[in-house]
Amino acid sequence: MFKNFGNVVEILIWKSKAGVADDEMIFAVNAMIGDLTKLQGFIKQTLYKNSKNEWVDIYYWETEKDAHDSNSKMDGKESLQNLINLIEPNSISIEVMPQLQSSVDKKT
């Protein structure tokens, strides 16, 4: 039986509203970092865009509770509202997953 031995990822996927430039989306996500770093358990965040034109935002948290609690703690923050204004509302999906395996970091 595998056990959670590491951190947790929260994966958000969405599509931007028509006419929103990639730079606008990246700026809005970057603007949230200051608020996120103040939250319990926040480790880091990484943003991607896939071949289906969907944004994939990955947040790393210490625990599942930290990940779930972050949603209510960010509610009402101007930085989150600015991001939400750029997103197609019905395109958002969120999934929280515990880490079960990890490779060894490559040394350079």
The tens digit of pLDDT for each residue in 31-63 reads 999 999 999 999 999 999 999 999 999 999 999
- Whether 107 is in a domain gets the answer no
Neighbours of 20 (CB within 10 A): 15
Higher pLDDT, 108 or 14: 14
Contacts of residue 72, defined as CB under 8 A and 6 or more positions apart, other chains included, come to none
Task: Provide mean pLDDT across the span 74-103.
Answer: 94
The model's confidence at residue 1, banded by pLDDT at 50, 70 and 90, is very low
Both tokens assigned to 72: 């209510």
- Whether 104 is in a domain gets the answer no
Domain total of the chain = 1
Q: Is pTM, for the whole model, over 0.75?
A: yes
Q: Mean pLDDT score of the chain, rounded to an integer?
A: 92
- The domain that holds 71 is classified in CATH as 3.30.70.100
- Whether 2 is in a domain gets the answer no
- Whether 106 is in a domain gets the answer no
Q: Dump the DSSP string for 41-76.
A: TEEEEEEEE-TTS-EEEEEEESSHHHHHHHHHHHTT
pLDDT at residue 5, as a whole number: 58
pLDDT at residue 103, as a whole number: 79
In which domain, by residue range, is 91 found?
Answer: 8-98
